[in-house]
Amino acid sequence: MKMASSFNKLHILLCLLFATQTTMTRGQTRVDFYGTTCPRVQTIIQATVQSAFQTNPGVAAGLLRMFFHDCFVLGCDASILLSGTSTERTARPNLSLVGFEVINAAKSQIETACPGVVSCADILTLAARDAVVLAGGTTWQVPTGRRDGLVSQASDAVNLPAFNDPISVQISKFRDKNLTAQDLVALVGGHTIGTAACAVFSYRLYNFSGTNQPDPDINPTFLPQLRALCPNGGNASTRVALDTGSVNSFDTSYFVNVRNRRGVLESDAKLLSNSTTLAFVQKFSGAMGVPQLNFGVEFARSMVKLGNTELKTGSQGEIRRVCSAIN
User: What residues act catalytically?
Assistant: 69
Q: How far apart, in whole angstroms, are the C-alpha atoms of residue 118 and residue 307?
A: 16
Q: How many CB atoms lie within 10 A of CB 74?
A: 21
Closest by CA to 189, choosing from 303, 73, 50, 290, is 303
DSSP SS3 for 144: strand
Contact present, 286 and 256 (Cβ < 8 Å): yes
Q: How far apart, in whole angstroms, are the C-alpha atoms of residue 298 and residue 185?
A: 10
Q: What are phi and psi of 325, to 5 degrees?
A: -150, 145
Q: How far apart, in whole angstroms, are the C-alpha atoms of residue 285 and residue 269?
A: 14
Report DSSP state, residue 293: -
**Buried b vs exposed e over 217-231: b needs ≥16 C-beta within 10 Å?**
ebeeebbeebbebbe
Q: How far apart, in whole angstroms, are the C-alpha atoms of residue 30 and residue 311?
A: 12
Q: How far apart, in whole angstroms, are the C-alpha atoms of residue 212 and residue 198?
A: 17
Q: How far apart, in whole angstroms, are the C-alpha atoms of residue 40 and residue 103?
A: 16
Q: Helices 59-71 and 41-55 sit at what angle, rounded to 10 degrees?
A: 130
Q: How far apart, in whole angstroms, are the C-alpha atoms of residue 4 and residue 115?
A: 43
